[in-house]
Amino acid sequence: MEALNPHSVLVTGSNRGIGLELVKQLARKSNPPEWIFATCRDPEGPHAQDLKNLAAKYKEIVIIPLNITDPSSIRSAVTMVTEKLSGTGLNLLINNAGISKFSAKLEFEAPEDMAEVYKTNVIGPMMISQAFLPLLRKASEESSEKGMSCSKASIVNMSSHAGSITDVYLWELAQVASYRCSKTRPRNHKGTTKNQGSPKSNVAALNMLTRCQSLAFSEVEILCVAVHPGWVQTTMGGSMAEITVDSSVQAILNLLAHLSEKDSGAFLNWEGKILPW
């Protein structure tokens, strides 16, 4: 049976919400990773207390300061992680940190918000993946496992169904164009045009980045996927959200355990279903 057994995992934005729960459930596994790098942009700030309490209980958790939009912060984080890993690679990178700027109506969407959301949700994961690529490559090269898996070497981008051009998920609730554009979906992972929506779906953002990563890093057997976690009860998801953070993360970890090379470049929901364009 497939299992999720990475030696090392790094989660961005892990001081609250889905990121914190990912770290919690990874640490509570019967066979936890040896290293869980729980990164957050302000470990000394008021929103990091839950993570600090958790790290005090589990020796596997190492808190690393990391602002995903700041190149010097990224460089320092890579140095700290490399030191801890002392010669081994990084198996699983979860680009979880993200923001959403609320705008009820597209006519009021601010260009500054559009730029900030793009910078955090797209450029951030791109820079993080580039910076940790040498460690991911090392993990892949040094593994005796055949094919691809999230235990061997993988980049998981936390995306959103809100970016689906076909579904325009929850439009009636919030138009949030800046967020939708940042997460917009590319062609499907098989590279075909079946079920494709607007031709605009050939370009753009986090999901297209995932598809590009899957192509660029297939040679070194790094599995790359975009995952929609569900509409989750977090600060971002709000209290009306459909699923708890606990059930979302349980399902995501179960999903990651079952992914292989056939899934690289895909956009899946927390239950493993391929979503429409």
Residues 6+ apart with CB under 8 A from 212: none
Tokens, residue 115: 């730029």
Region from 103-111, 148-156, 232-240, 267-275 binding ligand NDP, contact rule CB under 6 A? 232-240
Residue from the set 37, 132, 231, 267 that interacts with ligand NDP by CB under 6 A:
231
Mark 237-266 with x for binding to ligand NDP (rule: CB under 6 A) and - for no binding: x---x-------------------------
Task: Note whether 184 binds ligand NDP by CB under 6 A.
Answer: no
* Order of strands across the sheet that contains 267-269: 61-65, 35-40, 8-11, 92-95, 154-158, 223-228, 267-269
Strands (E), the chain: 8-11, 35-40, 61-65, 92-95, 154-158, 223-228, 267-269
Region from 27-35, 56-64, 130-138, 233-241 binding ligand NDP, contact rule CB under 6 A? 233-241
CA distances from 217 to 23, 131, 205 (A): 25, 14, 18
Task: Note whether 15 binds ligand NDP by CB under 6 A.
Answer: yes
Q: Which is nearer to ligand NDP, 65 or 197 (CB)?
A: 65
Task: Note whether 69 binds ligand NDP by CB under 6 A.
Answer: yes
Helix (H, G, I), strand (E, B) or coil at 255: helix
Residues interacting with ligand NDP, by CB under 6 A? 12-13, 15-19, 40-42, 47, 66-69, 96-99, 120, 124, 158, 160, 228-229, 231-232, 234-237, 241
